[in-house]
Amino acid sequence: MKNNLSEEIQKAAEILSQAKSAVIFSGAGMSAESGIATFRDPGGLWDRFDPAEVGTAPGIMSLLSEGGDTIREIIREVVEAFTLARPNAGHLALAELERMGVARSVITQNIDNLHREAGSTRVFEVHGNLYRFRCLNCESKFFVDRSDFLERLGDIARGSGPLSLEGIMERVPRCSCGGVSRPDVVMFGESVQELGEAIFEAHQSDVMLILGTSGVVYPAAMVPQEARKAGAVLIEINPTEVVFASKNDVYIREKAAVALPLIVEEVKKRKKKK
């Protein structure tokens, strides 16, 4: 099995060293390796709470009307995980691939900003970004300081007494136009963001590197299929299961944080020889 793994890593490195326009598609598994538990796993948030209930605006309103204990518990968990989360070796290796001129862009289902923090610059976030807000008045978007925002959320989670919508809104940053803003993340039932751009990127790709995604969340999961239609080779890295790769592709049963640095080292060696 060990032999097999290194063989697949060599294969992936060979393909990437010849790629002109590799596009990365990452999912929850990538964040899990940075300590953000995949919400769908046993014990995860969506295992204990029904996302159709707590992941929608009406659901949140109804939980607030009950005093907000559930919301507090969810916020506390999210704040803890996101405060500790840092880009892992996989994120850093992907940023390196961009600097080497191999990777064209990153399409991610994750909202944690870790690809940007690692140094990737062309990032399309189909489920939004937790540290970006959208003004409900003028529609403009703005980033907030990560630690400042998490501290504000933490205040809400630690507070006592009933939690109100007003109480939450007071802590949400205002737009420069004075308008009220909301986190620019896609909630359940809302449409995904930048899907057109993501599909355009998929069509431009000659290799698609697929990392830690279960392929169950549509329409984002159609991105690898669009890449394949455009003729891209798929390289899938997933420690638990193969979802997209078929026999002409490469599948690496390993964590992204383990496999990607090895692959990037191999790509560098090949580039030097040329």
91 is catalytic: no
- Rounded to whole angstroms, what are the CA distances from 173 to 48, 71, 152, 179, 236? 30, 19, 10, 9, 39
**Cβ nearer to Zn ion, comparing 133 with 149:** 133
- Range list of β-strands (E), 136-205: 141-143, 181-185
**Cβ nearer to Zn ion, comparing 124 with 149:** 149
- Rounded to whole angstroms, what are the CA distances from 170 to 163, 166, 173, 239? 12, 6, 8, 42
Half-sphere exposure of 160 (CA within 13 A, CB side): 0
Please name the residue that has the structure tokens 């000659």: 206
For β-strands 22-26 and 207-211, DSSP reports them as parallel
Instruction: Please give the single-letter amino acid code of residue 194.
Output: E
**Cβ nearer to Zn ion, comparing 170 with 265:** 170
Closest distance of CB 175 from Zn ion, Å: 3
Closest distance of CB 140 from Zn ion, Å: 5
- Assess contact for 208 and 232: CB atoms under 8 A: yes
Cα-only R_g, the chain: 20
Closest distance of CB 172 from Zn ion, Å: 13
- Calpha distance 242→77 (Å, rounded): 29
Binding site for Zn ion (CB under 5 A): 135, 137-138, 175, 177, 179
Closest distance of CB 141 from Zn ion, Å: 9
Instruction: Cite the active site residues.
Output: 127
